[in-house]
Structure 1
Amino acid sequence: MGEYLGVFASDDGRLYTPPVSRTGLAKLLRANPHHGTIPRFKRNLLLRDFRPSSGCSAHTMGRAALDFMVFGEAYLQRLRNVIGQVVELKHLPAINMRRKVDGGFAMLLPKGQALHFAEDEVEHIMEYDVEQDIYGVPDYLGGMHSLLLNESATLFRRRYYNNGAHAGYVFYTNDPDLSEEDEEALKAQISASKGVGNFRSMFVNIPGGSEKAIQIIPVGDIATKDEFERVKNITRADVIAAWRMNPALAGIMPENAGGFGDIEKIDRVYTNNEIRPICQLFLQVNATLRGDRQIAFDLP
């Protein structure tokens, strides 16, 4: 889903395929609470310093900034007046944008259709990738395995509880006096013990049966042997590190009485080192926007 495959021409030879599935990156936002909220938080920090203009509204910048955080690139259409001046920027969804082999851009539409743009019609803001310079790639790809492991641990735990909070067992009996009717009744009771309301007691009476006529042999005791919390904590730290996000800003509860320190100082340092360089990338749109329509950020 988040695997880097490189850039190749599509089957029809018209478009370059992105190195990482755009749909896969979008779906990963729902795999983990931190991975899903951090890009929006970074978008909000960028908008906090953004000064909208008649050439680019806060709404347009917000969408483009979120695309940049998630996909490592953003696309804006240059709208021109009758004399060819760029007077407004319109957001183009990065998930559907493709570079054309013969130059220009295409936006994929339903039913195999595409909307084509000339090279000078689109402002392409991208995070440079050292392996190719056609598409932008997000920085967090190195944390994808930890993200997926975090999701798998959560899904496993959820299924474990839905299954009745047990890892399974072997119901063993060697009593010859157990009738076929009793066997079928026991099977039905065991099957019914899974899921909600599974904590039921069972009465079995075998006249003349031995002490070990029936034995319950656990397959595993997940309640004491799994490392769910440890896996969640380690993978959460990896996800936050992949985003270069300070734990204090990521909604992490401190594990000590001292906390994370001065939150305003943390916010200021993080904004200076992480958000404002991204603002500089977006300022490239001023190279084509008409002077009175240019954007700005409240940078120090």
Structure 2
Amino acid sequence: MKRQKAEPKKTEATAFSFGDPEPVLQGGIYEYVGIWLLDNGRYYSTPVPLSGLARLLKANAYHGPILEFKVNMAMRGFRPSAALSRRDMHAVSTDYMVFANAYLQLARNWLGEVVRASHLPAINMRRMRDPERYGLLLPNGQFHEFEAGEVLHLKNYDVCQTIYGLPGYLGAIQSMLLNEDATLFRRRYYKNGAHVGYIFYSSSPALVPEEQEKIKKAVMESRGVGNFRNMFIHVPNGREKDIQILPVGDFSTKDELERIKNISRDDIIAAHRIPPAMASIIPTNTAGFGDITKVDAVYFRNEIVPIREVLLEVNEILPPALRVAFTDATPENQ
């Protein structure tokens, strides 16, 4: 009986698209989620997760150090008093730079005058339904409520709500995370060594299974320590293009690490409104960044003085004898 030859199965062309770009960290710390009453209406939620803002301090080499530098600039020349110590004001200044919120617990004498102002961690502070009352989230899950007027809240203004302040650098969070991702990708690239960046293709009939296993073993052993090694292959009576290396993506030279790092860095320092000369950036031109003394004077006047004015709001509730001040002269007058 003659066997009929099977007809080849017809296939149809297939096409697909990747869709529109979407944020990788959907619902991440950069997304404004609004203000809501939590715990049966006891206190308000924060507009963004404060723990996420705290973790962001260690995301790259610029964001955290810039905020620390701004704290040091603001604290320069601070004169403490018996009511507010330098340590407490430093903590208040740090909270204000990171979260745009800072809190002080006020202790009063029998006359009702404030005699002591102590720092409260902003990351755990919440505004209660009563505008004059605040609470503190404790590690054991409890919520400590302060009396009305016991807490002083220093904050900037947010156009979407008036409960909490909101830092102005949120628009650069994507750049901060991109800077971190670029560094992590390059570290993993060098540490791993076996990159899915090519297809090792062989069509030579002269390669017997034993030789194929040797080649496979040599490729597998190229990862880890001693990677990026060259490999010699000899195929007797081989033809042209019997063995081909088909690149999928040359990540070693085309990931543009330096360009990504520089662009994301510029976004970060722009969000903090800090001059490049004061952000420890090495100039790429011969002229540099100009006179650092003049840069410091302009930055001090335009950025640090307004921050100090917010911090000095504590004097509005302190008696004249217990008020704090900043005694250093402006850079242009030094």
Specify the SS of the correspondent of 2:140. helix
Specify the SS of the correspondent of 1:110. coil
> 2: CA distance between counterparts of 1:59 and 1:69?
16
Render the CA deviation track for 1:22-61: whole Å, top value 9, x for unaligned: 0010111111111010111111011103111111111111
Partner residue of 2:86?
Answer: 58
Render the CA deviation track for 1:131-180: whole Å, top value 9, x for unaligned: 11100101111111222222222222222222328562111112234333
- RMSD over equivalenced CA pairs, Å: 1.9
Partner residue of 1:106?
Answer: 135
1:232-251 equivalent positions in 2, closer than 5 A: 232-251=261-280
- 1:42 aligns to 2:76 (yes or no): no
Partner residue of 1:219?
Answer: 248
Single out whichever of 7-16 and 29-38 deviates more from structure 2.
7-16
Instruction: From the two aligned structures, give the one with the greater helix fraction.
Output: 1
Query: Residue type of the partner of 1:78?
Result: L
Paired residue for 1:83, among 96, 111, 126?
A: 111
> 1: CA distance between counterparts of 2:199 and 2:300?
57
> 1: CA distance between counterparts of 2:152 and 2:180?
35
Render the CA deviation track for 1:226-251: whole Å, top value 9, x for unaligned: 32222211111111010010111111
Partner residue of 1:182?
Answer: 211
How many residue pairs are counted as aligned between the two chains? 300
> 2: CA distance between counterparts of 1:3 and 1:290?
41
Partner residue of 2:48?
Answer: 20
Rg larger for: 2
Query: Residue type of the partner of 2:204?
Result: D
Structure 2: gaps spanning 5 or more residues: 1-28
Partner residue of 2:148?
Answer: 119
> 1: CA distance between counterparts of 2:165 and 2:82?
27
> 1: CA distance between counterparts of 2:309 and 2:235?
80
Partner residue of 1:294?
Answer: 323
Indicate how the Cα distance of structure 1 residues 82 and 181 shifts in structure 2: closer, same or farther if over 3 A, else same: farther
> Once the 2 structures are TM-superposed, how far is the Cα of residue 111 of structure 1 from its aligned partner?
2.5
> Normalising by the residue count of structure 1, what TM-score does the alignment of the two structures yield?
0.93
The answer as to whether partners of 1:160 and 1:167 remain within 8 angstroms in 2 is no
Query: Residue type of the partner of 2:150?
Result: E
Structure 1: gaps spanning 5 or more residues: none
Instruction: Tell me the percent identity.
Output: 53
The answer as to whether partners of 1:167 and 1:222 remain within 8 angstroms in 2 is no
Render the CA deviation track for 1:270-297: whole Å, top value 9, x for unaligned: 1111111111111111121122211112
> 1: CA distance between counterparts of 2:154 and 2:134?
13
